[in-house]
Amino acid sequence: CVTSDVQAACRDTTVTQELLKEGFHRDLQVKVELGEDAGGCAVAARIHLPPGIYVDPYELATLQQQNLTKALLIPDVTDVEAPEYLATALVLVLFLEADPRCSRCFRAAVPVHARYHRPAEGSQHALVALESPQVLLCCCHSHLAAECWEPAEVGAPCSAENVGPCQWHSTTHRAAREELMLEVPVGLREHSSLVCALTLLTTLLCASLILAATCRHGHFS
Amino acid sequence: WLLNPLPMAVSSRGNAEALVALLVLATLYWVEAGGVGKAAVCYGLAVHMKIYPLTYALPIALHLRSGDGAVGAGGDGKARPKFVVHIWRLFVKTLNWDVLLFGTVAGSVLAALTFAFYHLYGWEFLEHAYLYHVTRRDIRHNFSPYFYMLYLTAESKWSFALGLAAFLPQLLLLLVVSIAFYRDLAFCCFLHTAIFVSFNKVCTSQYFVWYLCLLPLVMPSIKMSWRRGALLLLLWFVGQGLWLAPAYFLEFKGYNTFLFIWLAGLLFLFINSLIIVQIISHYQKEAQVTKKLKQR
């Protein structure tokens, strides 16, 4: 049967992602091992960031200026202060560098930040699910095996050199995707009444202290 | 001030606090020196750069109305008039030539700057400079005692009422302090900003620079032993340290330390209030003024 031959001819591209560091500020590291040779194409990964996580566009711009990271954020502006329930999802196209450890390996890292999530009942953490990235190739002059790579529509321009037609490609055969989970601490709804009561009481107390001192020592004549 | 490590560290995050401090100090200097017009220009520029000096409008107006720390409308020997009558007289008599000049010049400078920048940058300027403060929803952890309460109630029907309840002590204290201490403008403005920052819904280290720049003006009037002053300073740093520790574990280690951060925020408010009360209690400018009057 033709189909199985075609699939057997294309070796799987493996993509792994990892979240380094802890807390709200992490580094997302993406590693890709291509099944076939890249053939002079630029390798990138398209990452869908859910509303619970974001990339700071200003931080990204600084990193790009220092040639430490190359990436495109779509859309390129985001409210960095918004909580998760008021934020929108983002798409990040991260260009990968050749990994010296193996011949068809590529990798890159980008700093990501977690947003504040809704307070929860009975749980101290909220979970953010990060889908597995999609591997993309940006090819300008090379020919790729048509069975393994198909043209893709990415809402971003290809590499810097604009010589001839450059086209994005993605894999025809999608391997099983693994989700990466990020734990974000959240406030507890059970605390609401206590917190409101004690906060207002304390502020009233402190305000009274200052008011009393002002009335005693201030000049009201 | 330029070599002070605190404003240096704060300014490196992208805010030219030293400039605003300079403008505020210039405003106070010119008001004391009698250059009302120049003070108004500096004031307009300061408000354009940062909105917080707007709270100084009331003390400056009261100060200009009465002249240089002169005795107020009511006589000294007679029985003190009723508080309400006194407040009414204070506000009705506020409009004199100096106050009108100050208000007009400051207002014109601010309006001219706003118009010029709107012409240069359009709607984006208005949004980022002014409207942003009205619609901003930042519930991330900060020194404010209200942070956890606002975070937990962000989507509830009580959100607006609680926001208002948080605003009232701040407003009341600012009014009372203005009326009590307007004769010493630097002291009044120092208290204003210290209270404004401590009771605000959002409070970060950057805001401390706003009242610390006025502390050198105020220190000669505060008769406090070195030991007491050092103890209060230590208490202030301890309050911040107790907040920074759980905040670090939340943000950089991912532990759920919200309760600790909230309690540390309440403690920090209490410490700030204590320091303000101590400063008010040990304020003795009046002794110097009466001495000068007697010497004439």
Residues B236 and B184 both lie in one domain:
yes
Complex ipTM > 0.95: no
**CB < 8 Å to B198, chain A:** 206
Residues B90 and B150 both lie in one domain:
no
Out of A36-50, A135-149, A207-221, B179-193, pick the least confident.
A135-149
Average confidence (pLDDT) over A30-57: 88
Query: Is the model's pLDDT at B71 over the cut of 70?
Result: no
From the list A28, A69, A71, A32, the residue with the least C-alpha distance to A50 is A28
Q: What is the pLDDT of residues A88-147, one digit of tens each?
A: 999 999 999 988 888 889 999 999 999 999 999 888 999 999 999 988 888 877 677 777
**CB < 8 Å to B272, chain A:** 206
State the pairing for strand pair A125-130/A90-95.
unpaired
Average confidence (pLDDT) over B156-183: 89
Query: Is the model's pLDDT at A156 over the cut of 80?
Result: no
CB A177 within 8 A of CB A148: no
Residues B142 and B254 both lie in one domain:
yes
Of residues A109 and B158, more confidence is placed in A109
Q: Token pair for residue B220?
A: 């000669």
| Tokens 């997302």 -> residue | A28
Mean of pLDDT over chain A: 86
Residues B166 and B266 both lie in one domain:
yes
CB A120 within 8 A of CB A126: yes
Q: What is the pLDDT of residues B237-294, one digit of tens each?
A: 999 999 999 999 999 999 999 999 999 999 999 999 999 999 999 998 655 555 455 5
Asked if A215 lies within 8 A of B162 by C-beta distance, the reply is no
| Contact partners, residue B117, CB within 8 Å, separation at least 6 | B125, B129
Residues B153 and B285 both lie in one domain:
yes
Residues B84 and B147 both lie in one domain:
no
Of residues B138 and B206, more confidence is placed in B206
- HEC assignment per residue over A72-85: EEECCCCCCCCCHH
Query: Is the model's pLDDT at B77 over the cut of 50?
Result: no
Distance, CA of B86 to CA of B79 (rounded, Å): 12
Q: What is the pLDDT of residues A163-181, one digit of tens each?
A: 567 788 888 766 667 889 9
**CB < 8 Å to B136, chain A:** 81
Asked if B169 lies within 8 A of A186 by C-beta distance, the reply is no
- HEC assignment per residue over B112-152: HHHHHHHHHHCHHHHHHHHHHHHHCCCCCCCCCCCHHHHHH
The CA-atom distances, in angstroms, between A174 and each of A53, A133, B13, B168 are 25, 11, 44, 59
Containing domain of residue B221, as a range? 138-295
Residues B229 and B103 both lie in one domain:
no
User: What was the pLDDT predicted at A176?
Assistant: 65
**CB < 8 Å to B166, chain A:** 203
Query: Is the model's pLDDT at B74 over the cut of 80?
Result: no
Residues B195 and B285 both lie in one domain:
yes
User: At which of B120, B135, B150 does a domain end?
Assistant: B135
Query: Is the model's pLDDT at B218 over the cut of 50?
Result: yes
Q: What is the pLDDT of residues B13-36, one digit of tens each?
A: 777 788 899 999 999 999 999 899
CA distance A121 to chain B (A): 11
The percentage of residues in chain A with a pLDDT greater than 90, rounded to a whole number, is: 50
**CB < 8 Å to B181, chain A:** 214, 218-219
Residues B10 and B154 both lie in one domain:
no
- Count other C-beta atoms under 10 Å from residue A88's C-beta: 12
Confidence grade of residue A6 (pLDDT, cut at 50, 70, 90):
very low
Average confidence (pLDDT) over B180-206: 92
Asked if B253 lies within 8 A of A23 by C-beta distance, the reply is yes
CA atoms within 13 Å, Cβ hemisphere of B295:
6
User: What was the pLDDT predicted at B76?
Assistant: 44
Asked if A24 lies within 8 A of B252 by C-beta distance, the reply is yes
CB B165 within 8 A of CB B108: no
pTM, two decimals, is: 0.86
User: What was the pLDDT predicted at A39?
Assistant: 74
Mean of pLDDT over chain B: 86
Residues B108 and B202 both lie in one domain:
no
State the pairing for strand pair A167-171/A149-151.
antiparallel
User: At which of B91, B118, B135 does a domain end?
Assistant: B135
The percentage of residues in chain B with a pLDDT greater than 70, rounded to a whole number, is: 86
How many domains does the structure of chain B reveal?
2
Distance, CA of A117 to CA of A84 (rounded, Å): 5
Confidence grade of residue B177 (pLDDT, cut at 50, 70, 90):
very high
CB B220 within 8 A of CB B285: no
Single-letter code of the amino acid located at B19? L
Distance, CA of B205 to CA of B189 (rounded, Å): 19
Residues B160 and B190 both lie in one domain:
yes
Q: What is the pLDDT of residues B104-151, one digit of tens each?
A: 999 999 999 999 999 999 888 888 888 877 767 678 899 999 999 999
Nearest-CB residue to B138 (from A81, A192, A203): A81
Query: Is the model's pLDDT at B1 over the cut of 80?
Result: no
Query: Is the model's pLDDT at A162 over the cut of 80?
Result: no
Residues B145 and B288 both lie in one domain:
yes
Which chain A residue has the Cα nearest residue B271?
A206
Q: Give Dmax over CA atoms of chain B in angstroms.
A: 66
User: What was the pLDDT predicted at A10?
Assistant: 72
